[in-house]
């Protein structure tokens, strides 16, 4: 199988576990949201407990987030539809690649698989290089970036732009080469 050759057995197993966990968590959430407990109203204590839990993720939620982050580090771009805070569905997106064009608040980024998306950088977006805040205009064509944001209609709105330093890019490429060598 082509995926197994690229990721290796361990990567395939981890990806399967992460996706299964995400589906189970999503299904449980959907079931809980639609099930009727039989009582007419919730008690205030239950509502307060729910609010407390939402602010502080459980150990299981933190583990799942870490696993998803690790899986995303190997990817080049992606989308996921999530249930937003206001009850609507939101499409979250991310892309890693090189900036091919800069036009005002728009960045065009091309991933290593050839996918090219144009992003509009939000006014309140956090733009960083090597962990330090920079202005949006400091990102230039040829820079390696990671953008995260949401899809709004047919537009990609970047809420966060990570632009690693040249030393960080070299270290990432070295780790990726070592990973591909061990997985292949």
Whether 103 shows a pLDDT value over 80: the answer reads: yes
Pairing of strands 77-83, 132-133: unpaired
Domain range annotation of the chain: 2-74, 90-183
pLDDT of residue 141: 93
- Residue 114 — left, alpha, or beta (φ > 0 → left; ψ -120 to 50 → alpha)? left
Say whether pLDDT at 25 is over 80: no
Give the mean pLDDT of the chain.
75
pLDDT attached to residue 66? 79
Q: For the segment 122-178, what is each residue's pLDDT rounded down to a tens digit? A: 888 999 998 899 988 889 999 999 899 999 888 899 999 998 888 887 887 787 777
**50 confidence band (pLDDT: 50, 70, 90):** very low
**CA–CA gap between residue 123 and residue 7 (Å, rounded):** 37
Burial 24-62 (b: 16+ CB within 10 A, else e): eeeeeeeeeeeeeeeeeeeeeeeeeeeeeeeeeeeeeee
pLDDT score recorded for residue 44: 45
Kindly indicate the confidence band of residue 19, based on its pLDDT and cuts at 50, 70 and 90.
low
Total H helices, total E strands in the chain: 4, 7
Strands 106-110 and 89-103: antiparallel
Q: What is the CATH number of domain 90-183?
A: 2.40.50.320
Residue among 103, 100, 101, 82 at smallest CA distance from 91: 82
Q: Where are the beta strands (DSSP E) in 17-141?
A: 77-83, 89-103, 106-110, 116-129, 132-133
Tell me the backbone φ, ψ of residue 21, rounded to 5 degrees. Answer: -60, -40
Mean pLDDT to the nearest integer, 83-106:
91
């Amino acid at each position: 199988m082509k995926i197994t050759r690229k990721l290796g057995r361990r990567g395939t197993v981890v990806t399967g576990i992460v996706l299964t966990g995400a589906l189970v968590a999503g299904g449980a959430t959907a079931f809980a949201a639609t099930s009727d407990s039989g009582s007419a109203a919730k008690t205030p204590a239950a509502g307060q407990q729910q609010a407390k839990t939402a602010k502080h993720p459980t150990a299981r939620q933190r583990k799942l987030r870490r696993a998803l982050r690790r899986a995303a580090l190997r990817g080049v771009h992606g989308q996921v539809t999530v249930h937003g805070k206001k009850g609507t569905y939101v499409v979250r997106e991310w892309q890693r690649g090189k900036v091919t064009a800069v036009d005002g608040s728009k960045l065009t980024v091309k991933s290593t698989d050839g996918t090219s998306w144009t992003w509009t950088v939000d006014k309140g977006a956090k733009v960083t290089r090597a962990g330090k805040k920079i202005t949006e205009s400091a990102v230039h064509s040829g820079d390696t970036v990671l953008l995260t944001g949401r899809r709004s209609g047919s537009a990609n709105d970047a809420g966060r732009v990570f632009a690693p330093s040249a030393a960080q890019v070299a270290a990432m490429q070295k780790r990726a080469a070592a990973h591909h060598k061990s997985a292949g």
